[in-house]
Amino acid sequence: MDERNRPIHTFQVCQVMEGHQNNWLVSEWVPRRAAQKVFVEVRFTLRDCSSIPWVGGTCKETFNLLYRESDAPLPPSTSASSSSTPATRPPAHFAKVDTIAADLFISLVDTIAADQSFTQTDLGDRVLRLNTEVRQVGPLTRKGFHLAFQDLGACIALVSVRVFYKKCPSTVRNLALFPDTVPRGDTSSSLVEVRGRCLEHAEEREEPKLYCGVDGDWLVPLGRCVCSIGYEEAHGRCLGCNPGFYKAFAGNIKCSKCPPHSSSPAPSAPVCSCDRGYYRAPSDPPTAACTRPPSAPRDLLVSINGSTLFLEWAAPADPGGRRDVTYVVHCWRCGGGAEGAGQCEPCEDDVHFLPRPLGLSSTRVAIQDVLANSNYTFQVEALNGVSAQANRRPAALNISISTAPAGASVVGLISRDWASQTSIALSWQEVEQPPSPILDYEIKYYEKEQKHLSYSYVRSHTAGVVVSGLRPSTLYVFHVRARTASGLSSFSVPAEFSTADKSPELGGPQGSVLVMVLAAVGGFSLLVILTLFLLITGRCQWWMNTKMKSKEQRRSHYQNGHVVPFARGKTYVDPDTYEDPTQAVHDFTMEIDPARIRIERVIGAGEFGEVCSGRLCSPGKQEVGVAIKTLKGGYTEGQRRDFLREAGIMGQFHHPNIIRLEGVVTKSRPVMIIVEFMQNGSLDSFLRGQEGRLTLVQLVGMLRGIASGMAYLSDMGYVHRDLAARNILVDEALVCKVSDFGLSRVLEDDPEASYTSVGEKIPIRWTAPEAIAYRKFSSASDAWSYGIVMWEVMSYGERPYWEMSNQDVILSIEEGYRLPAPVGCPLELHQLMLHCWQRDRRLRPHFCDLLSFLDKLIHNGLSESVESLDYPFFISVGDWLDSIKMSQYKNNFIAAGYTTLDSVSAMSIE
């Protein structure tokens, strides 16, 4: 009976009175199955020896647990003695698991009964206690094993033996199924990593994993599966969405009700299909409601102003449930007068829509260039994102209008004034009495050979135009028509003209030896006439020519590239052309007695020696402040010549914006060059110290001064070659003067002259590409440098191209990059810089043009100058686009109505 008096079967032994006991009980063969390690739970009772009267030292209080692995049951003889016939010999090859003792013995409070039986119920005051002990056996590798219990003389009853192993049971976690897993059997406690498999209608998000611990517990869940589209999670499984619901994305989200105007009759719908007459645009998400095309636009109105029509309408009453309504405008012209009436032709290609005819999001459009005396019909269609899917014409509204009759053709015969390789100048005659005032002319042209490729357009306010950006040696066809208040006239009779031939050996704009020779002869004749004239009049106001040149003269001067000024007064003489260069110093400078000079302090270091400030006294005159450039001792004759060379050049110039030479000291030591003192030093460092403190008028005034000095130099045929803010000096009244004539060379008497020299250091950031590439220095390359000086001034002495390397500067210029407008720099000044930085040097402005532009800018008042300025350098928007390497946009600009630079300057970001 157990402790609760239930009958139990036991194996028992109690040979405590006899010595040398060795009794064995061996189990049946136990198959191992998946176990690597098994647990053996033994329940038993054991009497303590002291409770048994008269027992000696032979009594034991423990027994041994043993096991033996085998792939099949052992034969009975080996396996054990039977319970009926105790074995005298212990079974072979059993390994000991442990010696087991009882935790709790039967406690005796009275004398024990004589027969020693544990099965007796009448134990009086004795309390029977069952012991439970668990031992681990393993790791096991064979197919099964026997257990054995060895008694060496104890009084013991074995009540039960339970053999088991532990496993992590199959489970579902995060919608993944994990199979039964047996923990590792070795002694290490490392976990078994198990990969889960997603349940039906679920898909893997991150690899699902669990770890099986030694005690059969699942640990550390990782990754997960989610329900596929059309399925949602319920009770740890993925179930299909009900009809009327959908789920468009895999994930742990619920099915959603179908959006408006859609349905899902079957379960597990990934998306709801649109009801009849409703659609989804390709870009609409499945969550979006189904929509339909809009109704027609409303209240279409048309008005006319000159040759421009304006259409306006109201948005459709029903946008179809969408916000992406756009409009398309179709145009038909149905002839004018009696003879053309009734015949209608599409006219989208003949007129210009502003902003465009298709994809309009606003409810208005302007239509330019409508013909006079015509009937136009316009149709405005409303579209939205699903119009393309609705297999029917968009809802539309029509309106018609007749334009007033225009006068007769107003453009006479077109003639060619001149042609260069890339430009052709045209003019034509207006008919005597145009029916209504001519607003401007539209010139259409194309390459004759490629007629069908594309047309280009330019506009002109006068009866002439220079069409530029053309290809050399190419025949072009030109048509001209006038725009009057009552519409466009028809095109003139076409005229065909060719651009000049390319002549790479000469490289001049005219490109022909003949023209060069003629130009030289003409220039010489002009010089002779001018000399005679000057002799007669005795006046030498040569520079007045520049100022008095009419705008037309300047323009033709510009159009023909950089030609030498029409009338030149004095020409610069290069000291190097003297047989003895020191003679030039005598001719152009004044020797000063060093006693008249008082050196006060050193203000800097020049190339040849120190630069000092001091005073110069002249008899009968006030003392003046001077800067004194010295030639340091130990110089060579060559250094002396180079040093004085600058004085020989400077002495030839007399202009308020050129540093004034007071004289030289050559007959005593140290050799000195004395120039006027400029209180604010060099322009670059001056600007850096003034950041943000000068007004726009002051900055532009400084630029004007530099342009004036440079105009003087270029008129004298002098090329500076090192024009940069560091070589401009500033006096106390902020007057800027060009200085540093060390690098300068003469511009020879050739109209196109600029020459190539070799092996000189070049200030890359300030120098024009052709001067860098093949030393082609000219007034046009000085104009490039002037653009850089403008940028330096407007950015308060910032380094051009910042920290870019010289090589990168060269490459980026080559690729068309140009410095952007400095902060706060007016648009027109930046445009002027861009104009100076045109790749084709012939297109760069002359200094006299720069000067007159800046004068205008100053006189028109800088603040409101944008509206009031015209752009004397750019003949057309096309020229300007050419200059900034955006020629491909010419037609877009013209089509959008940006035909003047004024209108371009007023353009908004939109």
Annotated binding-site members: 603-611, 629
d(CA 21, CA 8): 26
Examine residue 604 and tell whether it contacts ligand ACK (CB under 6 A): yes
Do the Cβ atoms of 291 and 320 come closer than 8 Å? yes
d(CA 236, CA 21): 61
Cα-to-chain-centroid distance, residue 478:
41
d(CA 653, CA 570): 10
Q: Which is nearer to ligand ACK, 574 or 662 (CB)?
A: 662
CA angle 822, 825, 827 (to 5 degrees): 115
Which H or E run contains 664? strand 661-665
Give the nearest distance from C-beta 603 to ligand ACK in angstroms: 5
Give the nearest distance from C-beta 530 to ligand ACK in angstroms: 34
In the block, which residue shows the tokens 């668990």? 134
Do the Cβ atoms of 387 and 358 come closer than 8 Å? no
Q: By rule CB under 6 A, what count of residues binds ligand ACK?
A: 13
Which residues are bridge partners to 526 per DSSP? none
Paired sense of beta strands 197-198 and 326-333, if any:
unpaired
CA angle 534, 537, 539 (to 5 degrees): 70
* Inter-CA distances, 10 with 49, 76, 540, Å: 20, 21, 146
Instruction: Say whether 722 is catalytic.
Output: yes
The single-letter code of the amino acid at 695 is T
Q: Which position among 611, 696, 810, 821 is part of the footprint of ligand ACK (CB under 6 A)?
A: 611
d(CA 347, CA 370): 9
Region of 661 please: left (phi>0), alpha (psi -120 to 50) or beta.
beta
SS3 assignment for 120-187: CCCCCCCECCCEEEEEEECCCCCCEEEEEEEECCEEEEEEEEEEECCCECCEEECCEEECCECCCCCC
Q: Which residues are annotated as a binding site for ATP?
A: 603-611, 629
> Counting Cβ atoms within 10 Å, is residue 434 exposed (0-12), middle (13-18) or buried (19+)?
middle
Give the nearest distance from C-beta 651 to ligand ACK in angstroms: 15
Q: Which is nearer to ligand ACK, 255 or 728 (CB)?
A: 728
**Given 151, 722, 740, 849, which residue is catalytic?**
722
Token pair of 823 as six digits: 């902060």
Token pair of 875 as six digits: 């003949």
Do the Cβ atoms of 633 and 669 come closer than 8 Å? yes
In the block, which residue shows the tokens 């500033």? 730
Give the nearest distance from C-beta 668 to ligand ACK in angstroms: 21
Examine residue 603 and tell whether it contacts ligand ACK (CB under 6 A): yes
Token pair of 16 as six digits: 């405590």
Give the nearest distance from C-beta 736 to ligand ACK in angstroms: 12
Cα-to-chain-centroid distance, residue 772:
31
Q: Which position among 35, 351, 687, 729 is part of the footprint of ligand ACK (CB under 6 A)?
A: 729
Q: Which position among 627, 719, 789, 825 is part of the footprint of ligand ACK (CB under 6 A)?
A: 627
CA dihedral 456, 460, 466, 470 (to 10 degrees): -10
Q: Which is nearer to ligand ACK, 722 or 752 (CB)?
A: 722
Give the nearest distance from C-beta 620 to ligand ACK in angstroms: 24
d(CA 657, CA 739): 9
Q: Which is nearer to ligand ACK, 232 or 722 (CB)?
A: 722
Contacts of 554 (CB under 8 A, 6+ apart): 846, 848, 849, 852, 872
Give the nearest distance from C-beta 740 to ligand ACK in angstroms: 8
Q: Which is nearer to ligand ACK, 442 or 792 (CB)?
A: 792
Residues 249-268 contacting ligand ACK, CB under 6 A: none
Q: Which is nearer to ligand ACK, 238 or 650 (CB)?
A: 650
Q: Which is nearer to ligand ACK, 458 or 626 (CB)?
A: 626
> Which DSSP letter does residue 626 get?
E
SS3 for 31?
strand
Examine residue 612 and tell whether it contacts ligand ACK (CB under 6 A): no
Q: Which is nearer to ligand ACK, 675 or 746 (CB)?
A: 675
- Taking residue 2's Cβ as centre, other Cβ atoms within 10 Å add up to 14
Q: Which residue is nearest to ligand ACK (CB)?
A: 604
Nearest to 820 by CA among 810, 811, 831: 831
Do the Cβ atoms of 278 and 295 come closer than 8 Å? no
CA angle 65, 67, 70 (to 5 degrees): 170
d(CA 246, CA 259): 9
Give the nearest distance from C-beta 878 to ligand ACK in angstroms: 43
Q: Which position among 286, 606, 648, 705 is part of the footprint of ligand ACK (CB under 6 A)?
A: 606
Give the nearest distance from C-beta 686 to ligand ACK in angstroms: 7
Backbone angles phi, psi at 528, to 5 degrees: -60, -45
Residues 654-683 contacting ligand ACK, CB under 6 A: 659, 675, 677-678, 681-682
Examine residue 35 and tell whether it contacts ligand ACK (CB under 6 A): no
Q: Which is nearer to ligand ACK, 658 or 857 (CB)?
A: 658
d(CA 24, CA 21): 10
Q: Which is nearer to ligand ACK, 482 or 647 (CB)?
A: 647
Do the Cβ atoms of 866 and 906 come closer than 8 Å? yes
Q: Which is nearer to ligand ACK, 65 or 678 (CB)?
A: 678
Give the nearest distance from C-beta 550 to ligand ACK in angstroms: 37
CA angle 511, 514, 516 (to 5 degrees): 65
Examine residue 685 and tell whether it contacts ligand ACK (CB under 6 A): yes
Positions that interact with ligand ACK (CB under 6 A)? 603-604, 606, 611, 627, 659, 675, 677-678, 681-682, 685, 729
Active site residues: 722
